[in-house]
Amino acid sequence: MKLSERLAVANPARVTLPGVADPGSAPTGPSTASVPTAAPLGEPVPEAAATPETAPRPTPAGSGRSLSARTSTPVAGPPVKPHGDALARLKDTAASALFERLGTRLNDPSLSEEKLHTIVRSELNHVVEEQDVPLTAEQQQRLISDVQDDVLGHGPLQRFLDDPAVTEIMVNGPDQVYVEQSGMLQRSDARFKSEEHLRRIIERIVFRVGRRIDESSPLVDARLADGSRVNAVVPPLAFNGSSLTIRKFSRDPFKVHDLIRFGTLTPDMAELLRACVEARLNIIVSGGTGTGKTTLLNVLSSFIPESERIVTIEDAVELQLQQDHVVRLESRPPNVEGKGEVGIRELVRNSLRMRPDRIVVGEVRGGETLDMLQAMNTGHDGSLSTVHANSPRDAIARLETLVLMAGMDLPLRAVREQIASAVDVVVQLTRLKDGTRRVTAVTEVQGMEGQTVTLQDAFLFDYAAGVDGAGRFRGTPVATGVRPRFTDRFAELGITLSPSVFGATETGARR
Ligand X SMILES: Nc1ncnc2c1ncn2[C@@H]1O[C@H](COP(=O)(O)OP(=O)(O)OP(=O)(O)O)[C@@H](O)[C@H]1O
- Give min distance, CB of 290 to ligand X, in A: 4
Beta carbon nearer to ligand X, 76 or 184: 184
Virtual torsion, Cα 227, 266, 274, 479, nearest 10 deg: -140
How many residues interact with Mg ion (rule CB under 5 A)? 2
Which part of the chain contacts Mg ion (CB under 5 A), choosing from 51-59, 252-260, 280-288, 289-297? Answer: 289-297
Q: Which residue's CB is nearer to Mg ion, number 81 or number 293?
A: 293
Residue 48 three-state SS: helix
Residue 295 binds to Mg ion (criterion: CB under 5 A):
no
> Using the rule CB under 6 A, is 37 a contact of ligand X?
no
Cα–Cα distance for residue pair 21/138, rounded to 1 Å:
10
Q: Give the nearer residue to ligand X in terms of CB position, either 56 or 290.
A: 290
Q: Which does 287 bind (CB under 5 to 8 A by kind): ligand X, Mg ion, none?
A: ligand X
- Asked whether position 294 contacts Mg ion by CB under 5 A, the answer is yes
Q: What is the DSSP letter of 251?
A: S
Least separation, in Å, of the C-beta of 294 and Mg ion?
Answer: 3
Nearer to Mg ion by Cβ, of 180 and 444: the residue is 180
Cα–Cα distance between 300 and 321 in angstroms, integer?
Answer: 10
| Of positions 19, 77, 155, 287, contacts ligand X by CB under 6 A | 287
- Of 208, 345, 437, 483, the one binding ligand X (CB under 6 A) is 437
Between 83-102 and 113-130, two packed helices, what is the crossing angle to 10 degrees?
120
Helices (H), 103-248: 113-130, 137-152, 158-162, 195-208
The region of 121-129, 245-253, 294-302, 478-486 touching Mg ion under the rule CB under 5 A is 294-302
- Is 331 a binding residue for ligand X by CB under 6 A? The answer is no
Q: How many CB atoms lie under 10 A from the CB of residue 486?
A: 19
Angle 435-440-441 from CA coordinates, rounded to 5°: 160
- Helix (H) / strand (E) element for 172: namely strand 166-172
By CB under 6 A, residue 365 contacts ligand X: no
Binding status of residue 443 toward Mg ion by CB under 5 A = no
HSE of 419 in the Cβ direction (CA atoms, 13 Å)?
Answer: 31
Least distance in angstroms from the C-beta of 196 to ligand X:
29
Residue 292-321 contact track with ligand X, rule CB under 6 A, x = bound? xxxx--------------------------
Rounded Cα distance, 159 and 163, in Å: 6
Out of ligand X, Mg ion, none, what residue 295 binds, judged by CB under 5 to 8 A for its kind, is: ligand X
Q: How far apart are CA 199 and CA 209, in angstroms?
A: 16
Cα(90)–Cα(79) distance, integer angstroms:
19
Residue 97, H or E segment: helix 83-102
Piece in contact with ligand X (CB under 6 A), picked from 213-221, 268-276, 285-293, 493-501: 285-293
Query: In the complex, what is the shortest distance from the CB of residue 257 to ligand X, in angstroms, rounded to a whole number?
Result: 12
Asked if 391 touches ligand X (CB under 6 A), the answer is: no
Number of residues engaging ligand X in binding (CB under 6 A): 18
Map the footprint of Mg ion across residues 79-98, applying CB under 5 A. Answer: none
The one among 250, 391, 446, 456 contacting ligand X by CB under 6 A = 250
User: b/e map of 392-427 (b: 16 or more CB within 10 Å)?
Assistant: bbbbbebbbebbbebeeebeeeebbbbbbbbbbbbb
- Tell me which residue of 441, 438, 435, 404 sits closest to 419, measured CA to CA: 404
Instruction: Identify which of residues 243 and 295 has a Cβ nearer to ligand X in the complex.
Output: 295
167 binds ligand X (CB under 6 A): yes
Q: Which does 176 bind (CB under 5 to 8 A by kind): Mg ion, ligand X, none?
A: none
Kindly state the smallest distance separating residue 291's Cβ from Mg ion, in Å.
Answer: 9
CB of 509 to ligand X, least distance (A): 28
Residues whose CB falls within 8 Å of the CB of residue 145, separated by 6 or more in sequence, listed in order: none
Length of the chain: 511
> Do residues 99 and 151 make contact, with C-beta atoms less than 8 angstroms apart?
yes
Of 83 and 293, nearer to Mg ion (C-beta) is 293
- Backbone dihedral region of 409: left (phi > 0), alpha (psi from -120 to 50 degrees) or beta? left
Closest approach of Cβ 296 to ligand X, in Å? 7
The three-class DSSP label of residue 339 is coil
262 binds ligand X (CB under 6 A): yes
CA distance 279 to 357: 13
Q: By C-beta, is 193 or 229 nearer to ligand X?
A: 229
Could you tell me the smallest distance in angstroms from the CB atom of residue 183 to ligand X? 5
Considering only 137-145, 193-201, 291-299, 485-493, which stretch makes contact with ligand X by CB under 6 A? 291-299
Pairing of strands 184-187, 219-223: unpaired
Least separation in angstroms between CB 342 and ligand X:
20
Among 104, 112, 186, 289, binds ligand X (CB under 6 A): 289
In 3-state terms, what secondary structure has residue 127? helix
Residues at the site binding Mg ion, with contacts judged by CB under 5 A: 293-294
Residues at the site binding ligand X, with contacts judged by CB under 6 A: 167-168, 183, 247, 250, 254, 259, 262, 264, 287, 289-295, 437
